Structure 1
Amino acid sequence: MNEIEDILIKKGPMLSNELKKELISRINIEDYNARQRISRAIKNGKIRSFKNISFNNNVSFVYLESHKNRKDFIKILKEKMKEEAKSYFYILRSIENKIDINRLPIYSNSTVKPLKGHRMFKDLINKLKLENIIIEKNESNQVYYQLKHKTDENNNIIKKVTAINKIEEIIIKDVFGFLSKINFVAYDKLKINSEFYKFKWSFTTPSYILPMKKYIKEQLQPGFIIGDILLKNVIYKEDILYFIDKINILKNQKNISKFAPFYIGYNFEKAAFNELKKNGVIIINIQQFFSKKYYETLKNIFEIFIGAYEMLKENPEKIIKLFEKLEKLEGEMNNIKGESFELIPAYYLSIHTNYNNFELNKTIKYEGKEKEIDLKAINNNNEIKIIECKATRYEIDIDYTEKWIKENIPLINKWLKNQDFYRNKKIIHEIWSTGGFSEDSLKLLRERKESTKKYQINYYDYNDMYDLFEKDKKLREILYDNYSVEKYVK
């Protein structure tokens, strides 16, 4: 065993410049000779380093093969990346924060399109995979990343990620619903998980208020509201450093539209709050922007979305209590009721039918196409229901109905037939719309319901639901209080 290996055995993984200092201190050699010894040890395979990942200042992360079995290996790697390879640190931290694979680029300081002098997100991900630091895993036919050496990874990641995505969208829509009412942002132009100047953001939307807009060759050009949302109990300074990096990169670009950065979260540590404030970021604390009641309701919805199967089977009354709270949110700028509507058919099926296996907001992918299933339910009669849930104050038009019948249903059916578990089950497609259907839509739905033999089609408007819930007075009350366009007429 040589001096270098002995140092690593006693001190653990470290950066090469730290190893160099230890070596100089121990055997009193020159800086150049210490660097040469470390370089030879790496080439000879006596110590390890990541060949595909570059750290700042020409340093490397060095370790022994046996170190990979240490529980703190990934923790040490992250600490060193935070010092000398921040772009990788941000990605690893986001993976630990259970960020959806499609939204990971948001929480990094790397680009999604080429920008001179900056690395692209996909290249960093590929290098992390090449070094086996992260791996792709599959749960319920959905892909996510996991830290290779993480030994305490939770189960049901996809359920957690899906629930987080759902809550994020509710909050973003509610915030910008309010901002559009005071003309701070353009109405109906909000984009979620979108791009602005080579980077990915949780949300972007144009703004025509005076400090933002400008004229170029007599053409009015809007500014943009851009920003991110992070749902953690406490947001620490480390969590938002990537965002500050993104903002600072934009500030140094020429010919870029004016922009105002926003950051949305539950609760900000003082250091994180001050860092955002110092950099001119508009901070939205959800509890302060809305109310504590709104915040608590979101937490309840999050728990339900994660544990929908167990809750609908063991404690469905919790869903009733949730909707009782929603009734009291009248007047809040919120999309909570609309985004929670799928819980209504889920509750009905769990209490009044033999359906006993439920999944909410499941994203499927087939033949390069993607579709979210609002509610999937299975019973003991070898039947599976796929329910499209639309809580709107307007009728579903013919365009939407045609897309549902001609695009969504065929894609879902192909996906189901490709899964052994679903292949031989009877498929029932349903669409529940509180706002009802246009005459053209109803005509098409009736025709397809009568003519379709390979699977079944059902459709329900508000009145149909009210009739369906005849034996459940409480469910009728919830439907009326939360989703009635006008008073139900028998």
Structure 2
Amino acid sequence: MLSSDLAKILEKKYRVAAAAARKRVERGCEGMTKLSHVIFPHRARFVYLKSEYGSPWFFEKLMAALQKTNSTYYHALQALEMRSNVMPRSHFLIACGAPVAQKKHISAESLTERLLKANLVKEVSFPEGEICIVRCDKESTFLDSHLLAKMKARLIAERVALLAVKDWARNLGLVSYDAVQTREDEDLQAMPQVGTFQWDMAGPSYLFPMRSYTADTQVKPGFFVCDIALSGRVSAEEISAFVKKCVTLRSLPKVGRCLQVFVAEEYTPEAFTLLKSEGVIPASTESLFGVEVAKALKSLCLVLTNTASLLKNPGALEKIFDGLSRIEGAGSTLRGSLFEFVVAYIVKTTYPGCDPEVNRKVKDVLGRGAEIDVLVVRKNREVVFIECKGVHPLGTVDNDEVVKWLDIRIPVLREVAKHHSDWCDLYQRYEIWSSGGFTEHALSLIAERQQQSNKYKIEARNADYVHSQVRDSNDKGLIRTYEEHFINHPMLEFDKAQERAKRKAERDMQRAKYQKGSSSSKPPPLPQLLAQPTVPAKK
């Protein structure tokens, strides 16, 4: 409880004078601790027993005390709780409700640092290098439970939904077509920002109700801003950080009018009423995209979280792709995420009796972490570590990714296998699978590394190999899904047509170049690239 509340209990129940009660609370006692770096009004502190730290009771009382004082930390922790108490750090800076920088307001960075110093949240690094914010009581179970898989599934679904919201806003003319940004944009230097706040999506709007005019009659745009959380039903308490951000933004005199939207799967009646009363659009996936897409997004989260059910039912991939096919860019977004499940199903049919594991997190004795995309253990024979790269059918895996796999991930996995009771005596095989291809340089690096040791096997599997394995599985659903979305994808045909048009243009340019010569003289022969092959004369 708050130290001020504890002092009042001493006054009323134990007849201690007010000044003495405050001193006694200030001195504390054995086993009693004060929460650091989080200060309440009138210099009150949150006090607790060490034995209660991180318990459900601890957080229940802490959140009640923070809510009572309308603390910024309350809104930030509620935003974290809405996303199952784990999210990427960059996303937390958007969702916490604090500005990037503003007078008389704690910044998002400072708020995050104080929560970290107070040990209310922890920073956890992914093997890929991304840093996540996790509530302190969830840290120990984060990497070993379905919590990580649930977060990754939510982020993929939100990425697809943001693509749809972006297209929806551009097609309706709510935003300037080429100026709208989302947190998922590849060429983004910083998160989308309007005023002093960052958003999951933002763009200028020149619609008549949104725009205004300066003193010299220059048009001043308004803005369309949007945040998203596809984590089930949203409550009024969980949405409080977004509401606080919207209200604060409107108080900034130099920022134009803003149309503010929050996207969720569904809302409680209280949350829906709160957003409407504050002039915010409470959008749901069903109201924006229709029932089919909303169900597909929800199924995507469930399927990616429960990998075992996906391996039993590969047809779920086809349903998800079909449901989200109307969203531009969804196929390329999902391709990389779902390719590893395709590989896992192929491996399952290739090695009967083996149960492949997807997204296994491991650490070696030095504390270095790695993620195994697909793990296969063949009893008394070998252990197979598969790295999956779902790239464009005509694309190739970046050389840097291959180098990272060879120089960072394989050494960590070698060390893990060396000390693993079930793997230490098995032959090790490391494979990198791609739905596209590999550069000659990458293949030479893999071959060179293989020559350095005969204790383990390193192989690269390209699109042709994967396709042949899919067809050998004799699973009609898997074959149809893979060929439609990984082989015969519309973008593949588009790229082939572009390549053909490019070659034709080059030939036309070459012909035009040589036709500019004098008509009296014989034109020079065409370049070797365009000349017909000659047949050698018989001796």
1:475 to 2:478 alignment: yes
Which residue identity does 2:111 align to in structure 1? L
Which residue identity does 1:192 align to in structure 2? R
State whether residues 324 and 478 of structure 1, in contact with CA within 8 Å, keep that contact through their aligned partners in structure 2. Answer: no
Counterpart in the other structure of 1:272? 271
State whether residues 224 and 258 of structure 1, in contact with CA within 8 Å, keep that contact through their aligned partners in structure 2. Answer: yes
Which residue identity does 2:174 align to in structure 1? F
Match of 1:116 among 103, 120, 136: 103
CA deviation after TM superposition for structure 1 residue 243, in Å: 0.7
Counterpart in the other structure of 1:87? 72
State whether residues 109 and 246 of structure 1, in contact with CA within 8 Å, keep that contact through their aligned partners in structure 2. Answer: yes
CA deviation after TM superposition for structure 1 residue 318, in Å: 2.0
Secondary structure in 2 aligned to 1:267? strand
CA deviation after TM superposition for structure 1 residue 159, in Å: 1.8
- CA 1:181–1:195 in 2, change beyond 3 Å: closer, same or farther? closer
Larger Rg, first or second structure (1 or 2): 2
* Alpha-carbon distance in 1 for matches of 2:45, 2:445: 66
CA deviation after TM superposition for structure 1 residue 124, in Å: 2.9
Paired residues, number: 442
State whether residues 114 and 120 of structure 1, in contact with CA within 8 Å, keep that contact through their aligned partners in structure 2. Answer: yes
Per-residue Cα deviation, 1:244-271 (whole angstroms, up to 9, x for no partner) = 1111221122333543211000111111
CA deviation after TM superposition for structure 1 residue 213, in Å: 5.1
Alignment RMSD, CA only?
4.0
Match of 1:56 among 28, 37, 41: 41
State whether residues 399 and 442 of structure 2, in contact with CA within 8 Å, keep that contact through their aligned partners in structure 1. Answer: no
1:104 to 2:111 alignment: no
- CA 1:465–1:215 in 2, change beyond 3 Å: closer, same or farther? farther
CA deviation after TM superposition for structure 1 residue 360, in Å: 5.0
* Alpha-carbon distance in 2 for matches of 1:219, 1:425: 68
* Alpha-carbon distance in 2 for matches of 1:250, 1:21: 39
Counterpart in the other structure of 2:183? 192
Give runs of aligned pairs for residues 135-154 of structure 1, distance below 5 A. 135-136=122-123, 144-148=132-136
- CA 1:448–1:70 in 2, change beyond 3 Å: closer, same or farther? closer
1:320 to 2:320 alignment: no
* Alpha-carbon distance in 2 for matches of 1:458, 1:148: 41
* Alpha-carbon distance in 2 for matches of 1:470, 1:51: 60
- CA 1:258–1:89 in 2, change beyond 3 Å: closer, same or farther? same
1:16 to 2:3 alignment: yes
Match of 2:201 among 191, 200, 203: 203
CA deviation after TM superposition for structure 1 residue 137, in Å: 5.3
Give runs of aligned pairs for residues 171-250 of structure 1, distance below 5 A. 171-187=161-177, 189-192=180-183, 194-196=191-193, 197-212=195-210, 223-250=222-249
Counterpart in the other structure of 2:282? 283
* Alpha-carbon distance in 2 for matches of 1:222, 1:363: 50
Give runs of aligned pairs for residues 394-413 of structure 1, distance below 5 A. 395-396=394-395, 401=396, 404-413=397-406
* Alpha-carbon distance in 2 for matches of 1:358, 1:237: 38
Which residue identity does 1:235 align to in structure 2? V
Counterpart in the other structure of 2:26? 43
State whether residues 237 and 269 of structure 1, in contact with CA within 8 Å, keep that contact through their aligned partners in structure 2. Answer: yes
- CA 1:468–1:186 in 2, change beyond 3 Å: closer, same or farther? farther
Per-residue Cα deviation, 1:283-341 (whole angstroms, up to 9, x for no partner) = 21112222333233223222222232x346xxx23231341454356546672674154
- CA 1:353–1:63 in 2, change beyond 3 Å: closer, same or farther? closer
User: Which TM-score applies when normalising by structure 1?
Assistant: 0.75
Which residue identity does 1:414 align to in structure 2? D
State whether residues 290 and 332 of structure 1, in contact with CA within 8 Å, keep that contact through their aligned partners in structure 2. Answer: no
Secondary structure in 2 aligned to 1:54? coil
Secondary structure in 2 aligned to 1:118? coil
* Alpha-carbon distance in 2 for matches of 1:474, 1:28: 76
Fraction of identical pairs, as percent: 17
Gaps of 5+ in 2: 185-190, 364-368, 419-426, 450-457, 497-539
User: Which moved further from structure 2: 212-221 or 155-164?
Assistant: 212-221
User: Which TM-score applies when normalising by structure 2?
Assistant: 0.69
Counterpart in the other structure of 1:437? none
Secondary structure in 2 aligned to 1:421? helix
Gaps of 5+ in 1: 1-13, 365-369, 434-441
Which residue identity does 1:476 align to in structure 2? I
State whether residues 135 and 146 of structure 1, in contact with CA within 8 Å, keep that contact through their aligned partners in structure 2. Answer: yes
* Alpha-carbon distance in 2 for matches of 1:158, 1:220: 46
Counterpart in the other structure of 2:505? none
Give runs of aligned pairs for residues 28-39 of structure 1, distance below 5 A. 34=18, 36-39=19-22
Which residue identity does 1:126 align to in structure 2? E
CA deviation after TM superposition for structure 1 residue 48, in Å: 4.0
User: Which moved further from structure 2: 342-351 or 236-245?
Assistant: 342-351
Secondary structure in 2 aligned to 1:266? strand
Secondary structure in 2 aligned to 1:265? strand
Counterpart in the other structure of 2:424? none
1:133 to 2:116 alignment: no
State whether residues 445 and 459 of structure 1, in contact with CA within 8 Å, keep that contact through their aligned partners in structure 2. Answer: no
Match of 1:352 among 350, 355, 371: 350
Per-residue Cα deviation, 1:129-180 (whole angstroms, up to 9, x for no partner) = 3333334457868765544457996733222221211111111112222332
Match of 2:431 among 424, 428, 431: 428
State whether residues 399 and 441 of structure 2, in contact with CA within 8 Å, keep that contact through their aligned partners in structure 1. Answer: no
